[in-house]
Every structure is written in C-alpha cells, then in structure tokens.
Amino acid sequence: MQFNWVLVIGLMLMILATGCVKPTNYHQVTTPTPTVPITFTIPMQTPTPQATAKLISKEKSFTSNDIAYFEDVALGFEYGDNPPKVFRWLGNPITIRIYGNPDSDSLSCLNVVVSDFNQLSTTTKLQISDNGKGDIDMYFLPDPEFSRIEPNYVQGNWGFFWVDYTRNCEIYHARILISTINPTTPERCHLIREELTQSLGFARDSLRYPDSIFYQKWTETNYYSDIDKDLIKMQYNTEVPLCATKGEVEHFFSSTGTGQ
C-alpha cells in the first residue's frame, strides 16, 4: 500500500492518495476505456434519529484491542506530516457514482460491500447512484489509464483512492480507481472492499490482524473480520469527535462507557 497527499492552499483542503499493489507484470493496453457512468442503484432506507440513538445505545462495549486497532487504522494517514486525528464523513447518504466498465462480478462485489457497511453503520449509509455527481467517484478501468483520471496516481497500484477533507477533518469527496485487467475476480473484490472502506476514514494499514481488510500486506480478504466490524461501528455508530487525537479517542470511549 502506498500513499501520497497534497495541500490545496486556496481552499485550505487536505487531500490524500493511497493505493494497493501486488507485484507482477502488467498488461498494457493501447485503446483508452471510455469512462461513461453506468446505471446501478441500490435502494436505501435512512434510519430515523430515534432509531439511530436506540441502535447506538445497544452497541456492545469496545475492548482495549478495538481501541488500539482504531488508533492504528483510523487516526490520520499513512504518509505526510498531518497529525493523527479522526477523519470521517458526516453526510448521509454517501452516494457512489460508477464510471468505466465494471463486470457483473465487480458490481456484485460492490453491492455486497455496500450492504455489509450499511448493516454496521447507523449514522451514515452508502448508496450507489445513477443520478448526478457522486460523493465517491468509483472508476473501473485498466490501471495504465489511472493517471488520466487521477494525476496523483502512484504507478503500480491496482487499487487507489484519493480523499478530500476540510480543516475540520470532515471527508466530503473521494475518488477510487479499480483495475479491470490485472487482478483476478477475488483480488478485484478485495480491492473494491479495501479501497472503499479506507476512503471512509480508515486510511492507515496495520500488521496486527492478517484477516483484517486493513492488513498491510497483500491479501484477498473479501469480508469484514470481527475487529473490522468493531472499527466501523466505532467510527459510524458513535459520536467520536472529528479531529480527535489518540488521547481524546481513549477518553471518549472510556467516558461514554463503550470502552472496557
């Protein structure tokens, strides 16, 4: 996994790039793939504030291992001099706009990831949209064409994301690139899950848990492990403050009674 970032001075925005790579020989293509939006919509029901509060109140206590892993994965970014703080989306729903030429397996994988995340999150839902610009633009195209879509793309990555956020640590836009030529179907499904999930505010890798979607080394994991589920709930089932530092995260989960 590699990362890159740049500070946009005029708008005071922090932007992060990250990717996922598996060393191999790449198949080059000469004809660009058109990036035309496709139609693929998943119905979504947004819970009421009362229902959300009820779900949060019933959430299990998070363990010290959960908190330590949250600090590994969800505070800041892999590279750059930005401080380790909580970054996440506040909008609801977060719309995903699809571009390029995903095959049916890729769409099915994306459908599963959206469903899995929505079952875990009570504050923010994902919704694939075929109308207007998405909050997350997801491109399926050959990786040699990635730099045409994202100039900050780091060569050699089969999956890549670029996140925009404000000085208040609110993520408001992401661009995700998924290769259509190099990964196998299971590998591509893994990349869809990893890049989409990391663009939601889990931008760092870790070597703690090999079965985690956030594991630093190359894997083909196509599900959320139990501790991955806990991290998503910590980020999107609670009101952990934006820009919270490590000490503030630990105080939040201990003072709210959700840490043990």
> Any idea where the domains of the chain sit in the sequence?
2-29+38-255
Q: Which pLDDT belongs to residue 83?
A: 76
Residue 158 burial (10 A CB sphere; 0-12, 13-18, 19+):
buried
Q: Which pLDDT belongs to residue 93?
A: 95
For residue 111 the two structure tokens come to 């459908």
Q: Which pLDDT belongs to residue 19?
A: 60
Q: Which pLDDT belongs to residue 51?
A: 39
Q: Which pLDDT belongs to residue 140?
A: 95
Distance of CA 35 to the CA centre of its chain: 21
pLDDT per position as a tens digit, 78-128: 755 667 999 999 999 999 999 999 999 999 999 999 999 999 999 999 999
Q: Which pLDDT belongs to residue 252?
A: 94
Span 54-79, average pLDDT: 76
In CATH, the number for domain 2-29+38-255 is 3.40.390.10
pLDDT per position as a tens digit, 27-45: 222 223 333 333 333 333 3
pLDDT per position as a tens digit, 176-190: 999 999 899 999 999
pLDDT per position as a tens digit, 133-173: 899 999 999 988 888 888 877 777 888 888 899 999 999 99
